[in-house]
Amino acid sequence: MNNELVTRFLKYVSFDTQSSEENEGQCPSTPKQMAIAEYLRDELKALGMQDVEMDAHGYVYATLPANTTRPVPTIGFISHYDTSPDCSGANVQPRIIHQYDGEDILLNEAQQVWTRVNQFPELKDHIGEDLIVTDGTTLLGADDKAGISEIVTAMTYLQQHPEIEHGCIRIAFNPDEEIGAGAHLFDVEKFGCQWAYTMDGGEVGELEYENFNASAAKFHIQGRNVHPGYAKGKMKSAMLIAADLIQTMPAQETPALTEGYEGFYHLIGMTGSVEEATLSYIIRDHDAVQMAQRKQKVLEVANRMNAKYGEGTVEVNINDQYRNMKEQLEDKMHIIRIAEEAITQACGFCRVVPIRGGTDGAQLSFRGLPCPNIFAGGLNFHGRNEFVPIQSMEKAMMTVVNICAITANKQ
């Protein structure tokens, strides 16, 4: 077991870094994220990294200088430190299960919280490995503190092994990826890389350079409240209209019923009263044409509700979030080939899969920084059943090392 890697990860998850969609326009979206940014800045300085900088928004940058005089492209590695708004990240209490036996895992006896094999069959792929799990009350934070741990530990590994030739390596850690804003204030010019990799994927051995096109849709429903004793013919319940709207959306096109390249509509939030209600959806599809059709479907649903309940009852706003990075990488496949070789060296195989989500790399790719995504090893993100095998983290860390060496040797 790489104790340095594990110790680093356990330290990072002790920080509560949950981001929030409620603070639109504020970066970081939650002030508490700055605590880990400051810690990372100080840690990188103590490790002897160069050009260490944290900006006013909590973006942390650093450099590992080249140890060769040969011309080698400057490449980068990026991870985010915020955790999902979907589940608490406060007071995370991780536990290591050594040599996992393949059985159900009791996370919290008092609350009877289990990670059961029949619900999470991927557990069977990690029998005999050492799993870091939660105590059943919070998420773990492997998304994406595992990625940060792997990148930092890879940098120390390269420092300790000067026989491994590498060019200039840039690393960066950022806030607010979980709310789609992680790349918004990322300084691509300052980062100064020809290409980069986000360490933000899941299962060991996976490489991703296709992701969803993504939009958010928010329905506002205006009702009319009247005393219920005198409401006949007058009251218009926004909550009941919201329920009708939900039933009008395609029932089979939700995250729980789709996989692979299949897109979906995902209801992520709802608030309401008789007077007014709000429904928040995210919309996802790999195909740009089908994505446009999905957005049109949302507009049609709003029009249908207005035809039924009266004009002005439902308003909907659709905001694009990110696009499929494949558009930007198809003519730069050498970046993918290097990653495939590095992952294969570390894991014995490489599996290229589409991302059923997005990463900061998707946005960065459209801002001139080609940036595919590499596994970080964690599974069941955004909930209390999240876990990460230590062996997967070790392989991810070595993948970073291998990419640096392969990039230098191909020049």
Q: Is domain 219-322 annotated with CATH 3.30.70.360?
A: yes
- How far is it, in rounded angstroms, from Cα 219 to Cα 200? 31
| Residue extents of the structural domains in the chain | 3-210+324-409, 219-322
Question: What confidence tens digit (pLDDT) does each residue in 185-200 have?
Answer: 999 999 999 999 999 9
The residues that are catalytic are: 82, 177
Cα dist from 16 to 28, 32, 90, 107, whole Å: 13, 7, 5, 20
Q: Identify the pLDDT of residue 249.
A: 97
Quick one: three-class SS letters along 94-137? CEEECCCCCCCEEEECCCCEEECCCCCHHHHHHCCCCEEECCCC
Task: Look at the block and give the residue holding tokens 């900088």.
Answer: 53
> 21: alpha, beta or left, given left = phi > 0 and alpha = psi -120 to 50?
alpha
> Which residues in the chain come in under a pLDDT of 50?
none
Q: Identify the pLDDT of residue 355.
A: 86
User: What strands lie across the sheet with 75-80, from one edge to the other?
Assistant: 50-54, 60-64, 169-174, 75-80, 195-201, 373-375, 206-208, 351-352
- How far is it, in rounded angstroms, from Cα 244 to Cα 5? 50
pTM: 0.86
Question: What confidence tens digit (pLDDT) does each residue in 123-169 have?
Answer: 999 999 999 999 999 999 999 999 999 999 999 999 999 999 999 99
The reply to whether 3-210+324-409 and 219-322 are identical in fold is no
Helix (H) or strand (E) holding 80: strand 75-80
Q: Identify the pLDDT of residue 411.
A: 64
Sort strands 213-222 and 105-108 into parallel, antiparallel or unpaired.
Answer: unpaired
- Which overall architecture, per CATH, does domain 3-210+324-409 show? 3-Layer(aba) Sandwich (3.40)
Cα dist from 245 to 140, 251, 290, 357, whole Å: 35, 11, 21, 25
Question: What confidence tens digit (pLDDT) does each residue in 30-50 have?
Answer: 999 999 999 999 999 999 999
